[in-house]
Chain A
């Protein structure tokens, strides 16, 4: 006897899924009775591979953990190693790191615009914002040599200093993006159809949000001002002036609003950074990278990535290889238990919409 509910496989080979994962839906009519997330399609065993690589080699594979936004990985790991070793980071390096992180955040938000609007059928928005994201990638390419994977932030600082004239280019790009934001508003955020689609969809109970492990923009959209940059400031974020996105609707619309606000804030932050960045050393050189040993210790460090709190748990046993690296991305909670909860009773039309609003990124779930 077959089941009553129809099984729908959303993914892995499906245009509606973010990346390579699968959400198995049981639907009756177009109402979802239950959903279960299946991951593992991208599992590479990073944590195992890092046990076989020395500290510096680990950086080359680390950044591949979350593809849309690789920099928080590097920064996190570098900071964890520094915190275990007690290594000082030059002031300028901290500023450069913050700049890289904010640029990465802008890029990720632009990519998210594409995902969120594309899942609602507004493809023009995606075309524009991904095209604009390329300008950020160009900056990265000039700074680090790579478009996507940078391997730029190292323990002890960053790999290179800013190239000549880079500051102007960054500021120009920021000005350009700020102008574009107005057009995004017209196309997406002021669009009544988009608002009709987004309002009231994917509601997270604000009273339960923290307990369910919601972090990042979804949590701020629930009216809880929580951001690692404010709560547990790292690098130089306590010296920057910025506000957090805020919404109380706790639905897809609220999350869009939060992100829309924060991309503006990030642009401002990049400007502040370029303004206040001190001169000086950018790299506190580590002795011999191949034989570099880190004293025993452990650290749990976290960054506010574009999707929320991104944590690294690093344990060293005193050898030249990490004992254990455990990565916890926000999607680890968002895309599994939270998504399964939110999809119960939702409409089929909204699956991909809700998924995008939570900032699902499968590679960080399975690593």
Chain B
């Protein structure tokens, strides 16, 4: 059997099996999911090769699947992270109800993502895209309808994206007469500029929704924060990367063919959108008090960098974007798992209440620390490599506006230190509170995936070449040639950063320093509790809060007040209110019941298929 089909079928079978296994024993359903994803991963990494391709004929039309270096990169990312998350999810979801429902959709989402990666024609990509949207939507509403109508928001934006993609596919088909992605790439140059722009914008809206670009990001923070954390790791780490996957195809290969690629305007607008997204999202992230929402905004900000990198379009910047995409999947997946572990163990993720979990959950802290260092882009971990390439590519691009773009990106990533610290401080550091005395380290089955992924970041930091190789292959497939070296970063001006001496230096100094601290007057070094601090000689009473955790960055908030006054969300809400009053009857459709939504989704699908049929048969 074709290995591509095998992967998809195993994942699908896993979905069905885990749904059924729930009837026998709830925990089995997680195990089934994990096993199927593991098996799919094994097949993917062992069996799948570039030669694999297949076509599934459906009523005179066939869906084409294949694999290339670019899609292999994303496929590897999806399955690689999913294995860890699925393992984590077994323990995380233990004891919750409706596990069958959860794991069914969980597997289905991963299957859909693999399907997207495998698709070589727009139709099958679109089908899997919609499956991905629905299954993820069903998981968002798994916990019930929340007050912000998160699911509705997500569905509305996804529908906009879906329609946009559908339109784009139809337009390109009517112009070029083919659904093949490769045909769009080769034929794009022949289209008129207006058509190029139309197709480009429509596709960009479709992919932009999933990767939460600035005006289309509104659904993301709450959707990320309200899903179960085991899924958010996938949602933010991978699902958003599908948008990047599509954008990558467009930006790297499609646009390069057309005149639009040469006009700069399109890619520059996108790059600035990406940069503005990252700045604003970063500012929002650092005023959040819930760790989940902090990470959600941080995801949006990080996706902003990736978009900047893609939009600039130099080899180094594309490499940076793809590198960041992979690293972001790893560290953000880990961080959401960390938050999930904290939520499960301590019962809350409110950074104003939590504190001092470092002594109770040291391994989780370690995973969080490494991921945060990678997120902040501080050397020597993996995040730095991506950031460095992004900056260098912007600075060496030789285009005036890009120099200011680099300042925007830098502002966002410096401000990211603020929320990075806030995250670690809010959850793991600060005063020990008696109400969290009972908290214990998460079960090993949750800790292991986190720690393994965190260590992976360390390895990537030391040997970025491990990641450069597949990325360079993918870019070569897309027609961009890059040189890469195992441990040396270099830009087009010939400047280099050597990661190995850096690592040596850091390691040696750190060991010397730590050894000195540990052995100098070791006998007289004493551990004291966090209650024994300098409080101006006073002894605080038990009920008094000695952790500074509310409005942590208020001075900074005051400085950025002018920017923060306007919130995109309120505009949408106003539009939404206007629409709601206009179409009062539409409210009846939103019953707030997940199953009704599922019916709508099915109706939606059948309408789409009907439309598709009529067009195909033309």
Interface residues of A (CB under 8 A from B): 1-7, 9-14, 17, 22, 27-31
Contacts and interface: CB of A to CB of B under 8 A. Distances in A.
A168 to B, nearest CB: 47
Nearest to A13: B537
Which interface residue of B536, B538, B544, B546 has the most chain A CB atoms within 10 A? B536
A7 B545 contact: yes
A50 to B, nearest CB: 30
B352 interface: yes
Contacts of B540: 7, 9
Chain A interface, DSSP helix/strand/loop, else mixed: loop
A9 B536 contact: yes
Contact of B536 (A3, A5, A12): A12
A13 B544 contact: no
Nearest to A16: B536
Given A4-B352, A28-B550, A29-B552, 15 more contacts: A2-B435, A2-B543, A3-B545, A5-B545, A5-B550, A6-B545, A9-B536, A9-B537, A9-B538, A9-B540, A13-B537, A14-B536, A22-B536, A28-B551, A29-B551
7 contacts: A2-B353, A2-B433, A6-B546, A28-B550, A28-B551, A30-B551, A30-B554
Contacts of A4: 352, 545, 550
B536 A13 contact: yes
Nearest to A347: B555
Which interface residue of B435, B538, B546, B554 has the most chain A CB atoms within 10 A? B538
Contacts, number: 56
Contact of B544 (A2, A17, A22): A2
A31 B551 contact: yes
B608 to A, nearest CB: 50
B549 interface: yes
A9 B555 contact: no
B547 interface: yes
B548 A6 contact: yes
Nearest to B553: A29
Nearest to B549: A6
B535 interface: yes
Nearest to B551: A29
Contacts of B353: 2
B554 A31 contact: yes
B195 to A, nearest CB: 53
Interface in B518-555: 535-538, 540, 543-555
Interface string B191-222: 00000000000000000000000000000000
A19 to B, nearest CB: 13
Contacts of A29: 550-554, 557
Contacts of A13: 536-537
B544 A7 contact: yes
A22 B352 CA distance: 26
Nearest to B540: A7
B123 to A, nearest CB: 53
Contact of B537 (A3, A12, A31): A12
Contacts of A7: 540, 544-546
Contacts of B536: 9-14, 17, 22
Which interface residue of A5, A14, A30 has the most chain B CB atoms within 10 A? A30
Contacts of A30: 551, 554-555
A11 to B, nearest CB: 5
A6 B538 contact: no
B542 to A, nearest CB: 9
A316 to B, nearest CB: 40
Q: Which 8 A-B pairs have the closest CB atoms?
A: A29-B551, A29-B554, A13-B537, A9-B536, A7-B544, A28-B550, A2-B545, A3-B545
A111 to B, nearest CB: 22
A196 to B, nearest CB: 14
Contacts of B535: 9
A6 B547 contact: yes
Nearest to B546: A7
Contacts of A17: 536
Contacts of B550: 4-6, 28-29
A12 to B, nearest CB: 5
Contacts of A9: 535-538, 540
Nearest to B544: A7
A3 B352 contact: no
Interface string B555-570: 1010000000000000
Contacts of A28: 550-551
B139 to A, nearest CB: 32
A17 B536 CA distance: 10
A158 to B, nearest CB: 41
A22 B545 contact: no
Contacts of B548: 6, 27
Nearest to B550: A28
Contacts of B435: 1-2
A37 to B, nearest CB: 13
Nearest to B542: A2
Interface in B292-345: none
Contacts of A2: 353, 433, 435, 543-545, 547
B533 to A, nearest CB: 10
B558 to A, nearest CB: 9
A22 B552 contact: no
A3 B549 contact: no
A7 B535 CA distance: 10
A31 B352 CA distance: 16
Nearest to B548: A6
Which interface residue of B435, B545, B551 has the most chain A CB atoms within 10 A? B545
A277 to B, nearest CB: 47
Nearest to B554: A29
Contacts of B557: 29
A36 to B, nearest CB: 12
A12 B538 contact: yes
A7 B536 CA distance: 12
A1 B544 CA distance: 10
Nearest to A28: B550
B233 to A, nearest CB: 30
Given A9-B535, A9-B538, A3 B543 contact: yes
B244 to A, nearest CB: 36
Contacts of A5: 545, 550
A17 to B, nearest CB: 8
B283 to A, nearest CB: 15
Nearest to A20: B537
A177 B433 CA distance: 55
Contacts of A11: 536
Contacts of B543: 2-3
A89 B561 CA distance: 64
A7 B546 CA distance: 6
Contacts of A10: 536
A240 to B, nearest CB: 43
Interface in B354-385: none
A22 B538 contact: yes
A14 B550 CA distance: 23
A310 to B, nearest CB: 28
Which interface residue of A6, A13, A17, A27 has the most chain B CB atoms within 10 A? A6
Contacts of B552: 29
A11 B547 CA distance: 18
Nearest to B535: A9
A15 to B, nearest CB: 10
Nearest to A8: B548
Contacts of A1: 435
Contacts of B551: 28-31
Which interface residue of B433, B551, B552, B557 has the most chain A CB atoms within 10 A? B551
